[in-house]
Structure 1
Amino acid sequence: MIGISADFDPVHLGHVRLIDKGREIADETGDEVVIYLNRDFSANHAPFFVPYEARKEMALEAGADRVVPIEGLHYRLTLAYTVPIRIAMMIEDGVVDYVDAANVSPDLIIKKAREFASRGVFSGIPRELPNRNVIRWFAVNEFLYSKYRRKMKFHIIPELTVDGSKISGREIRQEIIDNNMEIPPSVQRVLPESTIRILEREIEKGNVPGRRNLAAIMERMNNLSRGELMKIAYLNADAINSIVRNRKYYREGQIWAAFRKAGYGPVLTRLAMSSIEMNVRREEVRDLIEHYTRKGWIPPDQRVGNLIDRAWFVSEKVIEGMSSVRANEMFLRGRPEVNAPSSFEAGLSLRKHEVRSIRDGMDAHIYVDQNDILSCQIRNGIKIKSPLHLSAQMATYLRLVIDSHIIPFHATIRKRKKGFRALVKIN
């Protein structure tokens, strides 16, 4: 099999060149050209402009033999996870040759990819590197060789350019929107006739452009408490406090502004919005990662247990006076043995009438309040809020877990001889 992984939103002449290259290889090998097509959200966590069935039809009309849907990943996981999953799927399906396009030499891509493959971690690839995702694909392909004792052969062709610029799907979509949902001549010249025909049909049906469920996003951002928001994946403490501080939301621009104020870039903002829209919980992401970890598809440094160990190691070093950046680098470089606690207790500050309102075993929602203080909220007819009293290391550890975006945590009220405490459980 010859594999191509794509959004194809919509299929343009650059995509046709990928399929043509696949067809060229297929003519020699007798294999089929298979498109692994993202279905529900794009690789960059955005809703699709063109619906899946239409994009599938475009790919087949452009010369592909078969289309395999990739679904359920891109509103739950970052590219550092989805790329290993997709490559492992393709290898297990029997893909031998993989076709992609890049505007840098394959030698440079291979050199950089091997650096990341040797580390065994595929997040944090510097933005200044050209064709970062192609480098990631190369690196993961190398990493998975140790599992499968084989890897896909990469065929990298130059990116197609028109008037000196590469064809951009984002610009194509924007030009159509700006032209009142008609395909202007500037866009038609970079689309195959089959795409134009299918796209015009979908526009006429009202299927284009696809949109987010902004009503669901705004309803949750407007109404969920800090503790409830903390359970949603890809929301850290700063993002949640920004969401609460900037309520009330009634248009998309306000949502983007809230995440921007929390330091989120465009890709992470889209992932966070997708997670809110689909109500993706931290436990759900954890379970998905652990499922693929058991299959041997997730690099060791990206496994959930390793993320927890790293948080504990960094908290130890920070208390010793080391910067968190340096501690993180030390952990990645040395991979030390760490025994991170899976549970610990925190003290509470409760008034007398509040003590009478709570009991052993009640759930408590952990959150970070507007003053950046780790706190919990207990509901029993009334809201009871209390700061968590923790040692400096435990507070740092819990905050790192909270800001991991994906590690779940939970607190339960426990009655002790000296009063009530919160039993915090990690993962």
Structure 2
Amino acid sequence: MLILIGISADFDPVHKGHEKLIKEARKLADNENKKVVVYLNKGFSANHAPFFVNFEARRDMALALGVDEVKSFEGLHHRLVLSYSVPIRLKQMIDDGITDYITSASISLDEIKSKAQKFIDEGNFVGMPKSYTNRNEIRWYAINQFLGSKLNYHVVKEFNKDKYSGRLIRQSIIDNGMVITDDVKKLLPKTTIEILQHEIDADRIPENRNWVEIYKKMNTYSRGNLEKIAYLNGNTINEIIKRRVYRDPESIWAVFRRSNYGPVMTRLAISSIEMGVTKKEVMDLMKGYESQGVIPDNQKVQRVIDRAWYVATSRLDAREANEKFRNEKIEVNSPLCLEAGLNLTKFETKITKEGLKTDLYVDKNGKISVQFKSEGKKIKTNLRLPAEEVTYLRYIMDSHFIPVNGHIKKSEKGFKVKVIIG
């Protein structure tokens, strides 16, 4: 069996910058009797959006330029941010027998190593600074080193990123009525142009979101149901309900902008809504990979929960507490179960029963609340908790991927909600 050289990409579409990367990989492969394997993201791009060009066409574009084999990463990018999907993709490549990883960047490998060291030391790859040039390449190198991989890392000098940009190429084709202009053709290999034109003629470009499904959920879901969806926090859910009705994509983008979501998180949240991705689904996926030793310790689910408890109970400013928790490897004993009081009317108390399942949500006034049904009646009420537990629970509910569930519990003075975290 040949030793493998791996490339991980979207290739949407394959342009001359990608062609250069493949040629350099091909040279390396031919000199060392290796095989070039490209791993293409499938379903959703690394930026959490539908692809412009479908997987089959992008695969053919790569193969036409001399790649030996194309494999896929599927089901990750509508569920996970890059700091979680990158180690999973790396693990798959290593398990497949990849020994060399090749990528393109405008900075040198030494510069990548220097910028990556801080994240390697901390074992935390969330929040890579936006100011970093080639931050995705820095992330891949840092995680590769942190996981103890023996993958050899190769960097090819990339073409002008402002010119050879998949985003700009796609936008030009759309703006020109699905025509590949002469200026764009100069940026694409001949084989890409042929395949791309065939896909346009067959009306398979671009792939689109299921906006009908997205409008339906954003227009009709209750706060409790929206709270279950990954990457939605309490403030955003209230903005979604406040700004109804949604009939066009711009109105949806606007509500996330008002909630201070950047473009990447907005795309991920919309993808999660579209695909019905729940916080529990994301958490279970993360835990599955944790058991395989793939997820760095500081990013594990329990550490996220522990950080929320520490910040909520610390006397420090939230930012200072976060820094202290991460840098000093603090251990805490976080409660995974809370008992909260209810504010029920006499009638509501009369029809409430032990064991009823409840949905938690943040109401329009920012209060943590609960809703449940009993005897055909919908009951909504705020929870009564100590201040520290309120802060802790709010951090958890805003974590994007840790679910909270509750059920009614009989107490000496009436009823409580037993809240289960994770």
Query: When the two structures are superposed, what TM-score results if normalisation uses the length of structure 1?
Result: 0.97
Match of 1:83 among 76, 81, 86: 86
Aligned match of 1:55 in 53, 58, 63? 58
> Runs in 1 of length 4+ with deviation above 6 angstroms?
none
Aligned counterpart, 1:126: 129
For residues 379-420 of structure 1, give each alpha carbon's deviation from its aligned partner in whole angstroms, at most 9, with x where no partner exists.
Answer: 232221100000011001100000100001101011111001
**CA distance, structure 2, for counterparts of residue 273 and residue 59 of structure 1:** 29
Pairing of 1:152-167 with structure 2 (within 5 A)? 152-161=151-160, 165-167=162-164
Q: Percent identity?
A: 50
Which among 181, 186, 190 is matched to residue 183 of structure 2?
186
2:335 equivalent to 1:338: no
Q: How does 1:349-388 map to 2 (within 5 A)?
A: 349-380=343-374, 381-388=376-383
Look up the match of 2:420: 425
Task: State the one-letter code of the partner of 1:426.
Answer: I
Q: Is the CA contact 1:229–1:235 (under 8 Å) kept in the aligned structure 2?
A: yes
Q: Distance in 2 between matches of 1:67 and 1:370?
A: 49
Count of residue pairs the alignment pairs up: 418
Matched, 1:224 2:224: no
**Cα separation, 2, equivalents of 1:153 and 1:351:** 66
Aligned to 2:153, the other structure's residue is in SS state strand
Residue by residue over 1:290-335, the C-alpha shift from the partner in whole angstroms, topping out at 9 and shown as x without a partner, is: 1110110100000001111111111111xx2x21111111100111
Matched, 1:175 2:172: yes
RMSD: 0.9
Per the alignment, residue 310 of structure 2 pairs with 313
Is 2:10 the partner of 1:7?
yes
Aligned counterparts, 1:103-118, within 5 A? 103-118=106-121
2:46 corresponds to 1:43:
yes
Question: Once the two structures are superposed, what CA deviation does each residue of 1:200-220 show, in whole Å capped at 9, x if it has no partner?
Answer: 111111110110011111110
Matches of 2:160 and 2:81 in 1, distance apart?
28
Structure 2 distance, partners of 1:337, 1:161, is: 46
Equivalences for 1:241-256 in 2 at 5 Å? 241-256=238-253
The secondary structure found in structure 1 opposite 2:351 is: coil
Q: In the TM superposition, what whole-angstrom CA distance separates every residue of 1:38-58 from its partner, at most 9, and x where no partner exists?
A: 000000101000011111111
Q: Which residue of 2 aligns with 1:399?
A: 394
Whether contact under 8 Å (1:114, 1:142) holds in the other structure is: no
Instruction: Please give the per-residue CA displacement for 1:129-153, whole angstroms capped at 9, x wherever unaligned.
Output: 11110100110011111xxxx4211
1:259 to 256, 261, 277: 256
C-alpha contact 1:144 1:151 (8 A) present in aligned 2? no
1:166 Cα shift? 3.8
| Structure 1 gap segments, 5+ residues each | none
Which structure 2 segments of 5+ residues have no match? none
Question: How many Å apart are 1:372 and its aligned residue?
Answer: 0.5
Give the equivalent residue in structure 2 for 1:408: 403
Contact 1:101 1:158 in 2 (8 A): yes
The 1-side partners of 2:213 and 2:317 are apart by 39
Question: Aligned-pair distance for 1:357?
Answer: 2.2
State the 1:161 CA deviation. Answer: 2.5
* Residue identity in the other structure for 1:25: L
What CA distance in whole angstroms lies between the structure 1 residues aligned with 2:272 and 2:160? 35
Aligned counterparts of 2:22 and 2:202: Cα–Cα separation in 1: 28
Residue number in structure 2 paired with 1:327: 321
